[in-house]
Amino acid sequence: QVQLQESGPGLVKPSETLSLTCSVSGSSISHYYWSWIRQPPGKGLEWIGYIYYSGSTNYNPSLKSRVTISVDTSKNHFSLKLSSVTAADTALYYCARGGITMDPWFDPWGQGTLVTVSS
Amino acid sequence: DIQMTQSPSSLSASVGDRVTITCRSSQSISNYLNWYHQRPGKAPKLLISAASRLQSGVPSRFSGSGSGTEFTLTISSLQPEDFATYYCQQSISTPLTFGGGTKVEIK
């Protein structure tokens, strides 16, 4: 059974960089796409971007200038960095397997981690 | 970007009711349409992929249909555990986008 677990600081100061890691268990990270998705409190879902195990990425243009997604196959995890954060980046951040092409859906999802941007 | 529009945004229904949720895309997405539900405090869960393919373990009271720009999710007999928010999502092109959600509440 594939399981994903997000980890990282729950509080980030404005203008700093948000950093999260998604650890994958029960499956090799190889040969799949892996995505980050976020959900502001009480709002809907926004796709942030995905990475293929080979390292190729695709980001939402609305965030592209601030987002970096990377993968570490040796540790079976992938990571998200979002720079220059503001209060608008406060959200539940989810990682999920899939995105497009071979896996054009998100399944499974991690439980999510709340990141609050505040001084 | 492909815009996904769900209707209604919320609905009240009783256990045993038949419920239908509609999702429309701003351009044709063939059958690249997925449905998720999200219970309060939980992560979304994939119910249906490719417009009509029920995921393993998902009860058969859920069904999906449609292609092109109009899609529906139907729950044939609403159960207590189905009270949640439902999202559609297109996966034909990036940026991948979700509908705004339909909250199914208890009447």
| Tens-place pLDDT, residues A41-87 | 999 999 999 999 999 999 999 999 999 999 999 999 999 999 999 99
User: Which residues, at least 6 apart from A64, have a Cβ–Cβ distance to it below 8 Å?
Assistant: A49
Secondary structure class of A63 (helix, strand, coil): coil
Query: Which chain B residues have a beta carbon less than 8 Å from that of A108?
Result: 45-46
Kindly report, residue by residue over B31-56, the tens digit of the pLDDT: 999 999 999 999 999 999 999 999 99
User: B-side interface with A, Cβ within 8 Å?
Assistant: 1, 32, 34, 36, 42-46, 49-50, 55, 87, 89, 91-92, 94-101
CB contact under 8 A, B46 and A105: yes
Q: Enumerate the residues of chain B whose CB falls inside 8 A of the CB of residue A104.
A: 32, 34, 49-50, 91-92
**Reduced to 3 states, what is the DSSP secondary structure of residue A13?**
coil
- Residue B28: name the closest of B51, B52, B46, B53 by CA: B51
Q: Which of A101, A103, A106 to mutate to test the interface with B (most CBs of B within 10 A)?
A: A106
